[in-house]
Chain A
């Protein structure tokens, strides 16, 4: 029996650019199963990141639906959608997007604070997550004091903070050198295989995509068969 965590139905997205209506997505249908590691690949401008943003509730589609564990994401108000993101989705960005004035541990702790997790639980869980991404000794460092790879590890730990059902990673290795990128991919594979974390990763890299269970090829806003 399949267990679909996230599903899109006939997703379209268009937006105006210099007076011309651009079709970023043209009827995308896909389903992500629990524990799956899916790579979304395609040329630049094909709509990969737009699709990921819509899947994560960060952007509204022009038409179509997104179901997160069976619930229509866009049927919810902004506050409820924020709650769904907080409790069910973890994000990893290409440019890390850490909070510059908070330490590595505090960055990881931040989503837990949003979820009102008790402080004692937060502290031990932060330590555990930092240990899992290999940054126990960098807990008190500010982002500026960390390397790119370390920042992305912190971002991954932050994505795991509220034990999400799915992690959406938007080119997580895009800003890293190849060696560090390989480490990050290994970390994500480890999380998927050892901890059964469901992963959807947008990438340009065929090597990274090869690590996934399956790849979805996007071209001109459509999934290639």
Chain B
């Protein structure tokens, strides 16, 4: 018989052992691979979400005055990754006007685009007309403000032309989706988004025939005293679209992939072009976020994996007796240790292979649950190749450690020892003898201390460094979790013996005299009971801490979204002609569902020589509409801070950063220079304010440098009563109220509303958009399985180990029901102790998770939020799992062949 045949027979013959171990292995690999796949799928989703809004992936800009962009375009079109390249020319005009009227706009931009551009990128929305007819297309703002329609004529005024260029309007364009066209290129404001409402779009034919030469090469005035005409220097660009499906799913790799093209082009045309890589820019934030996500998922998920691995080991340890007998028998029959190791090695490998493959299927199944079947479509499977490899290796290593190494250890013992039935264990377990509980708690303490002295939990810039720091930090709660569980179980093992009377009394009350007898047996097997309590309480505490963290995270997600927005709705009225004053708040207040409104004016003022953002608010209405968080203020009291500001007309709240930078304390004077609207030369008015408080954060200002002052004073100094935006608290669903506002006021005044419901959904590439709820559900499901399985293995191994005792109990007249009560007594004892210990550790660990990961939130949570409903459901599931495990063990007991069991030596 070959080793393989024997190994297969060995595996199949010991079905109970094989299946028990396989179940643990499948669980461990399933959870591990599930987390890795979850990270992969999340990274992919975050990458896709980040790049989805990018319309023009790259803007290749010429640095020359009269460039030839054809070679550049040809080179770009030769790249497999590039799908389309569109030439663009951008020029300036001084105003637009109606030929027979005095009505005119301010300066704007003229874009030269091929008709195909509109289809290639789709960012410029054609509202009316068409893009191919001869003539010009104008922006909606220009059409609205000048009252023009398709077919009307428009005059475009250029400094270089003596008379306006008049053309027929062939279309109206909504350019709001093409923000990339309005990114400043001048060195002072490079990269800043500066929307220009008045735009004209012309074809290259019109540009070449009518405008290119006069604008770029204007005639020299014949009158030598006349002011010279300065030629325009249009911006020549190529807008590039790429095939996003070719991008790697990992945003870091995707960023590198995209940037390779930029570097290659800039190298090919040195000094001629400059590339704005919109695609790479969009990936920058998500690269950091994915790093965080990886860290977070490992942080939250690894204890579950460790637990499942421990469960496998626990199952194997409990079933070592038959294996020892088997080895003893083989040795007695003359098999050499090498032959036994080879056969057992092959058997272990077969089990590892089957278990790992099944575990991977389970992992993919859980990923499908969260991301849908598309996540495991053949095309998407490449995403998981590395994770599959990791999970596969982990499965093999785990099996090696759990099954193969103990066999080697066994072979060192005497045959006579092996043939014996497992003796009643009297020695303390390894962890207790080595004080592993104390050691792990000390390690946890050292990690927390190092983290705290190192400035808290935060990742560094470089990926490698971040990950190593992340693993290091995540080990802190892990060791705390293990250490606490072991320590409590050490105390438990002692207290079970000493508290025998209490346990016996409780069990007598529940199960009668038989419970009392079971209680006596339990208290004499404290060590075995404690080992079961360890695994169940670890699993339970894992589930509880995860629930607490995820619940707190979800709550803070909403708080963060509210903070970003300022209130339930942020209403911004279009600037220019339609900008509103504080009186507009009255109109808003009349809309059903509006509970409070507060106007906010935001402008730039000089503090010293540096420009800072200054917000003007009405403290009373702001308190009602925005409901600022206490944690936003240094004094920890939002209401008091608002009152202090309201009580001092020239009071100002200074941001913490600014206060630190300028050493400003409460009561100190703060001198700022506010812009004066009547001054067109950029002159400012010096204003003496008094610091009344320190503010940590303000909606939309983050934690940067800023000031918050009273709106009436700001308006009187600047002589400007216009408002930047209104914050609205609603009594109905925010999104519904926002729609109502648009439907009523929006028809009269161009406005933009952003509600909190939409804001949460829009946080596409942010950490707050992570599907932690999904991960949490999976891990909680696993923890319930681990708890049930742990109890089932404990009870079944108890039946197996004590089969003769249970056989004797039945022989002396114990019915299945009566012996079932003994099982229930043990199960209930393990379950209840685990519930107590698990809940205690879970609460502590949940607090640690929330406190360590405070850095994830813009507004740090004051403490942990406890999801009572979810915890109650988890407890119920644990009790249900316990009941199922006990019923299963009871069934095994009922099927026992008493006579056969009692005859075995």
Contacts and interface: CB of A to CB of B under 8 A. Distances in A.
A110 interface: yes
Interface string A74-101: 0000110011011101110101011111
B525 interface: yes
Interface string B512-531: 01101100111011000000
Interface in B397-448: 424
A58 interface: yes
A114 interface: yes
B513 A91 contact: no
A79 B812 contact: no
Nearest to A52: B899
B903 interface: yes
B807 interface: yes
A110 B819 CA distance: 11
B811 interface: yes
Contacts of A87: 813
B817 interface: yes
Determine chain B's interface SS by DSSP, over half rule.
Answer: helix
A208 interface: no
Interface string A10-41: 00000000000000000000000000000000
**Which of B807, B812, B894 has most A Cβ within 10 Å?**
B812
Contacts of A59: 897-899
Contacts of B807: 97
Contacts of B902: 58, 93, 95, 97
Contact of B520 (A90, A97, A102): A102
Interface residues of A, number: 39
A101 B811 contact: no
A151 interface: no
A119 B517 CA distance: 12
A102 B500 CA distance: 13
Contacts of A100: 424, 802, 805
Given A100-B424, A101-B525, A56 B513 contact: no
Nearest to A85: B813
B812 A91 contact: yes
Nearest to B426: A144
A113 interface: yes
Interface residues of B, number: 32
Nearest to B816: A78
A78 B814 CA distance: 10
B274 interface: no
A99 B524 contact: no
B808 A85 contact: no
B810 interface: yes
A32 B162 CA distance: 135
Contacts of B815: 78-79, 82-83, 114
B905 interface: yes
Nearest to B898: A58
**Which of A91, A101, A111 has most B Cβ within 10 Å?**
A101
B812 A86 contact: yes
Contacts of B802: 100
A101 B496 CA distance: 14
B804 interface: yes
Contacts of B514: 113-114
A116 B898 CA distance: 23
A97 B812 CA distance: 11
B818 interface: yes
Interface in A96-126: 97-102, 106, 109-111, 113-116, 119
**Which of B520, B802, B810, B899 has most A Cβ within 10 Å?**
B899
B424 A144 contact: yes
Interface of B: 424, 513-514, 516-517, 520-522, 524-525, 802, 804-805, 807-818, 894, 897-899, 902-903, 905
| Shortest 7 CB-CB contacts between residues of A and residues of B | A86-B813, A97-B808, A53-B899, A101-B521, A82-B815, A59-B899, A58-B899
7 contacts: A91-B811, A99-B805, A101-B522, A106-B517, A111-B813, A114-B514, A114-B813
Given A97-B805, A97-B807, A106-B517, 15 more contacts: A49-B899, A79-B815, A91-B811, A93-B902, A95-B804, A95-B905, A99-B521, A101-B521, A111-B812, A113-B513, A113-B516, A113-B517, A114-B514, A114-B814, A116-B513
